[in-house]
Chains A and B, each alone.
Chain A
Amino acid sequence: MSNPHWQSAAAQKRIAKRNAAERRFKAIGLGAIVLSLAFLALLLVIMLKNGLGGLDWSFLTGSDSTDADIAGVWGATKGSLLTMFVTLVLAFPLGVLAAIYLEEFAPRNRWIDLVEVSINNLAAVPSIIFGLLGLAVFVNTAHLPRSSPVVGGLTLALMTMPVIVISGRNAIKAVPPSIREAAYGIGASKVQTTFHHVLPLALPGILTGTIIGMARALGETAPLLMIGMRAFVATPPGGITDPSSVLPMQIFLWSDEIDKGFVQNTSAAIIVLLLFLLAMNGLAIYLRNKFEVRW
C-alpha cells in the first residue's frame, strides 16, 4: 500500500534536501575536528623534531645551568612535584569538605547562596590575581620563603580549590537520592549516610575533577612569576621551603635565552611537561573507570 504523497516531486525534493543537510553537517563537523587536531599534531611534530635530540639521561637528571649542554630539567621537575604535593594536600581535603558541606549539610539561605556565587566566581578569576594574593599574603605577610614550593603550592591550592568544590558538588549531586533514603531508612545518621554511601559513589567524579584541576595547576606559570619562582636555581630543591622553579617556568625562562642550545632544551622540556599532563589525564580516566559503580 503506497501513499501517493511520498511519490510526488515536492516530497522527493524535500527528502533530497534533508539528506544533503545531513551530509553537509557531517562534513563540517569532521572538518572542525581535523582542523584542531592538525594544529595539535603540528605542535607535537615541531616539539619532537626540535626536542627529541636533547632528551637524554643527563637532561632528565640535571638542573638549570647557564650552559645549554649541561642544563637539565630535573630541578624544575622536582619543584613541580613538590609544588603539586603541597597543592594536593591542601586543596583536595578542603575542596571535598566544602563540597560535602554545601551539598549535604548547608541550610538553604542567602548566605549560602552568596558563598556559592563566590566559589563559582573564584574558579574564573585570572590566575595572575592569585599570584598577587599569594605574594601579599604568604610572602609579605606570613614571611614564608620566596620562590619556594610551599608558597607556590599554597597559591595554586587557592586556585585549584574552587575547581574541586564545583566538580565535587556536581558529583555529589549526581548520587541518586534513593541511596540517601535507604541509609536514613535503617537509621543511619547524616554523617554516616554521607561518608558511607554518598561519598564513595561520588568519589570517581571528585577524583576526575581534582586531577583536571591539578593538571591545570601544573601548567600554570603566571601566579608563580609573582611569587618569585622564576629565579635561576641550579640545584634541585631539597624540600618545600628551598628556592625552586617549576616545569612551565623553566620552559618560559629557556625560551627567553639567546643561546641556540636552549631552543632544543625548551622543546625537550615541553615534551616532559606534556608527558606529565598525559599521565595525569590517563590516571583520571583510570580512576574513574575503576571506582565507577554501575547499577
Chain B
Amino acid sequence: MTEPKLTARNVDVYYGEKKAIDNVSIAIDNGIVTAFIGPSGCGKSTFLRSLNRMNDTIAGARVTGEILLDGEDIYGPDMDPVALRARVGMVFQKPNPFPKSIYENIAYGPRIHGLAQGKAQMDEIVESSLVKAGLWDEVKDRLSDPGTALSGGQQQRLCIARAIAVSPEVILMDEPCSALDPIATARIEELIDELKNTYAIVIVTHSMQQAARVSQRTAFFHLGHLVEYGETSQLFTTPREDRTKDYITGRYG
C-alpha cells in the first residue's frame, strides 16, 4: 500500500463562528476518483475547498487540523498557497473561462508559472492540454476565438484543460456537471475516467448516480461530519451507517 496522495486529520473548518466541517479525517489515493456526496449544506464543497486552500480567499474562513499533500502539511509555514493551488488544481461548478481567447485561457497558467520556454513550447502545452481535455478537435481551428463563445460543456472542458496545463498532481472538481446537459455531462464523466490515470481526482457531486458512475471511492458527508467513506460499490450497495442508507435510498436529500 503506497502513501495516500492527500491525508486529512481531524480537520475543522469555521466560517466566522459557525463550524462547517467537524473533525474530518480522510485519506485520498492517487490513480482513482474520489467522490464527495451529501445533501446541500453538508460541507462537502467547503471541505473540498480546504484541500487547496481556496477557503483562504474567503474572509472569516479558518481551518484547523492537518491536511497533508504527499506528507507535507499544506497549512504549514513552508507552504505557499499560490504554489499549492498550481499543484492542486480546481474546476468549478459554473464554467468560468477567462473572457480571453481559447489559447490565452490555457496559456495563462503556464505563463505565470514559467512552465514554457518560448512560443513553440507554449503551443505544445496548449495543444496537449486541450487534447487531454478532449477539446482539441473541436477548437483547433479557432484558438483565437473567445473561450466564452463555446458551449457550456465545451467551456467546462476548457476549464479542465486550463487546470491540466499547469501539470497539477490533484484535480478538485466542485459539481463540474451541475450546469450542463446530459450529453455534455457524459463527455465530462468519460474525461474524468481517463484523467484519473494521471491525476488524483476528487469530485463533489449532487448526483448519486454520477458518484456511482465515475468514482472508485465515495465519502458521504452530513451536517459537517464525514459519516462514511469506502469503496463506491460497497457504499452504494451495503452501507454501514443508517444515515448513508437513508440518503442513498432517497429518504432525505
Contact = CB atoms under 8 A, between A and B. Distances in A.
Interface stretch (A17-25, A80-88, A182-190, A207-215): A182-190
Contacts of A188: 82, 108-109, 112
Interface string B84-123: 1111011110101111000000001100110000000000
Interface stretch (A38-46, A139-147, A173-181, A236-244): A173-181
Classify the secondary structure of A's interface with B: helix
A48 to B, nearest CB: 44
Interface in B190-240: none
Q: Which of the listed residues A176, A180, A183 has the most CB atoms from chain B within 10 Å of its own CB?
A: A183
A295 B54 CA distance: 24
A201 interface: yes
A291 to B, nearest CB: 11
Contact of B148 (A180, A184, A295): A295
Q: Which of the listed residues A108, A180, A186, A294 has the most CB atoms from chain B within 10 Å of its own CB?
A: A186
A65 interface: no
A61 interface: no
| Interface size range of chain B in the complex | 20 to 34
Contact of B90 (A180, A185, A192, A294): A185
Contacts, number: 68
A186 B59 contact: no
A197 interface: yes
B163 interface: yes
B166 A187 contact: yes
A178 B97 CA distance: 9
B57 interface: yes
B85 A186 contact: yes
A186 B166 contact: yes
A181 B85 CA distance: 11
A106 to B, nearest CB: 11
Given A108-B59, A179-B98, A295-B99, A185 B163 contact: yes
Given A192-B112, A201-B99, A295-B148, A186 B92 contact: no
B82 A293 contact: no
B199 to A, nearest CB: 14
B92 A187 contact: no
A216 interface: no
A186 B108 contact: yes
B82 A189 contact: yes
Nearest to B155: A295
A196 interface: yes
A180 to B, nearest CB: 7
A168 to B, nearest CB: 19
A178 B163 contact: no
A261 to B, nearest CB: 57
B164 to A, nearest CB: 10
A187 B54 contact: no
A188 to B, nearest CB: 6
B181 to A, nearest CB: 19
B159 interface: yes
A178 B94 contact: yes
A178 B89 CA distance: 15
A147 B163 CA distance: 58
B162 interface: yes
Contact of B159 (A180, A182, A293, A295): A182
Contacts of A189: 82
A205 to B, nearest CB: 14
B83 interface: yes
Nearest to B159: A182
Given A187-B85, A187-B109, A187-B112, A181 B92 contact: yes
Contacts of A201: 99
A294 B100 CA distance: 10
A187 B82 contact: yes
Nearest to A186: B109
A178 B159 CA distance: 12
Contacts of B57: 180-181, 184
Contacts of B113: 187
Given A178-B96, A179-B98, A201-B99, A185 B85 contact: yes
Interface in B9-66: 52, 54, 57, 59
Nearest to A193: B57
A182 B92 contact: yes
Interface of B: 52, 54, 57, 59, 82-87, 89-92, 94, 96-99, 108-109, 112-113, 146, 148, 159, 162-163, 165-166
15 contacts: A179-B98, A179-B99, A181-B90, A181-B92, A182-B96, A182-B98, A184-B85, A185-B89, A185-B90, A186-B109, A186-B165, A187-B82, A187-B166, A188-B82, A294-B148
Given A183-B98, A197-B98, 10 more contacts: A179-B98, A180-B57, A181-B57, A182-B92, A182-B96, A185-B163, A187-B87, A188-B82, A294-B99, A294-B148
